[in-house]
Amino acid sequence: MRLEGWHLIIIIVLALVLFAAPKLPGMARSLGQSMRIFKSEVREMKKDGAADAKDGSDPVEGKVVNHPRTAAPENHSTDGNDVPPPNRA
């Protein structure tokens, strides 16, 4: 007699019912809570994505700001490629 896939599934289900019966309600409850949280997060992400698509479609302009601790010397020209000073003391 050869064991097939559905035979193994029946054996696993029976073993779970026999040996893990007291823990099954708690496991089902936690699985249900996890699914509920997952669905609400997916719904929230879809809602946020729809709001971002409507509001954030315009390009945003920015301005390069020099590092506050570095004051450019009077004879040194800044071309916008300033690098902040190293953090060495």
pLDDT at 3: 77
Residues ≥6 apart with Cβ < 8 Å to 51: none
Which pLDDT value is given to residue 9?
92
The counts of H helices and E strands in the chain are 2, 0
Strands (E), the chain: none
Answer yes or no: are the C-beta atoms of 84 and 67 closer than 8 Å.
yes
| Ranges 17-21, 35-39, 53-57: which has the least confidence | 53-57
Cβ pair 70, 82 in contact under 8 A:
yes
Measured CA to CA, the distance from residue 28 to residue 20 in angstroms comes to 12
Q: What are the boundaries of each domain within the chain?
A: 23-53
